[in-house]
């Protein structure tokens, strides 16, 4: 009984506060006490198993990595500003590796040679990677994650061979990361992991494969083409669906 009364009182107080706030919104001169504003604030909801910002910050602070989170993010931005380290190879460690969903691992030499020869800025002078959401991984010391959602117009020659098409590329959001050693050098770069294959005009592909597909020069192998259901998967779906129907019919 007391619980019901308390709940009613709490709801009544909340409704009264909301009513006063509504009155204040329509009448700017009407005073609203600070405690009334506080009453209508919702208690933060923490999902079971959720790692809060405070939890993550505590994990990062206690992992013993000597470079502070803000400095790690700054270092990642320096690598990006240097054309992923190709314009300043000293930013990349000797044991650096590049890993994409299909391509890689590539060594430092393999990556810098390949990426520099691609000349992405010459082919897409207006390219905008739209970097956002930089954060430090609380589980893996020295790792910085970030998201890109690039837009670009193909107005120049790509890789010295593909003439301008004038096509605008709208990439889907992609997850990327850099891992650093204690000296601040990048030991690993991962790029092109698409977050939603439905978005953009790259056929659901990330990285270079997505760009090539968008401008009509998709490479002629399955990994560089939009995903298609294999006959094995189609057969599995058909047989599993049939099996489910049989179980329902038999009441199993």
Q: Where are the domains of the chain?
A: 2-39, 68-224
The answer, yes or no, to whether residue 43 has pLDDT greater than 50, is yes
* Beta bridge mates, 135: 145
Question: Given this model, what pLDDT does residue 11 score?
Answer: 42
Mean pLDDT of the chain: 85
CATH class entry, domain 68-224: alpha beta
Q: Are 210 and 201 in contact (CB under 8 A)?
A: no
β-partners of residue 42 are: none
20 by DSSP, 3-state: which?
helix
Output helix, strand, coil percentages for the chain, rounded to the nearest 5.
40, 20, 40
CA atoms within 13 A on the CB side of 69: 16
- Whether 1 has a pLDDT exceeding 50, the answer reads no
pLDDT at 40 (0 to 100): 56
pLDDT at 10 over 50: no
* pLDDT for residue 129: 96
SS3 letters across the chain: CHHHHHHHHHHHHHHHHHHHHHHHHHCCCCCCCHHHHHHCCCCCCCCCCCCCHHHHHHHHHHCCCCCCHHHHHHHHHHHHHCCCCCCCHHHEEEEEEEECCCCCCEEHHHHHHHHHHHCHHHHCCCCECCCEEEEECCCCCCEEEEEECCEEECCCCECCCECCCCCEEECCCEEEEEEECCCCCEEEEEEEEECCCCCCCCCCCCHHHHHHHHCCCCCCCHHHCCCCCCHHHHHHHHHHHHHHHHHHHHCC
pLDDT band at 25 (very low <50, low <70, confident <90, very high): very low
Q: Model-level pTM?
A: 0.77
Q: Strand pairing of 143-148 and 174-180?
A: antiparallel
Residue 13 — very low, low, confident or very high, per pLDDT cuts 50/70/90?
Answer: very low
pLDDT at 83 over 60: yes
Confidence (pLDDT) at 38:
54
154-189: pLDDT as tens digits: 999 998 889 999 999 999 999 999 999 999 999 999
Predicted confidence (pLDDT) per residue in 189-228, tens digit: 999 999 999 999 999 999 999 999 999 999 998 888 999 9
């Amino acid at each position: 009984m007391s619980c019901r009364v308390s709940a009613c009182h709490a709801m009544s107080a909340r409704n009264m506060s909301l009513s006063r706030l509504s009155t204040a919104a329509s009448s700017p001169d009407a005073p609203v006490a600070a405690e009334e504003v506080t009453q209508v604030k919702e208690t933060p909801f923490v999902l079971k198993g959720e790692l809060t910002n405070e939890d993550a910050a505590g994990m990062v602070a206690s992992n013993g990595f000597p470079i502070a989170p803000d400095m790690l993010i700054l270092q990642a931005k320096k690598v990006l500003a240097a054309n992923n380290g190709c314009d300043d190879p000293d930013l990349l460690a000797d044991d650096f590796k590049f890993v994409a969903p299909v391509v890689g691992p590539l060594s430092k030499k393999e990556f810098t040679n390949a990426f520099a020869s691609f000349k992405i800025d010459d082919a897409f002078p207006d390219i905008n990677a739209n970097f956002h959401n930089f954060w430090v991984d609380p589980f893996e010391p020295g790792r910085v994650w970030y998201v890109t959602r690039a837009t670009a117009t193909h107005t120049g020659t790509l890789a010295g061979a593909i003439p301008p098409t004038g096509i605008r590329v709208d990439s889907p959001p992609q997850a990327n990361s850099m891992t650093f050693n204690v000296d601040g050098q990048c030991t690993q770069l991962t790029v092109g992991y698409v977050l939603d294959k439905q978005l953009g005009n790259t056929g659901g592909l990330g990285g270079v494969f997505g760009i090539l597909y968008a401008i009509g020069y998709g490479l002629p192998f399955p990994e560089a083409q939009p995903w298609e259901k294999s006959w094995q998967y189609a057969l599995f779906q058909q047989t599993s669906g049939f099996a489910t129907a049989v179980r329902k019919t038999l009441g199993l």
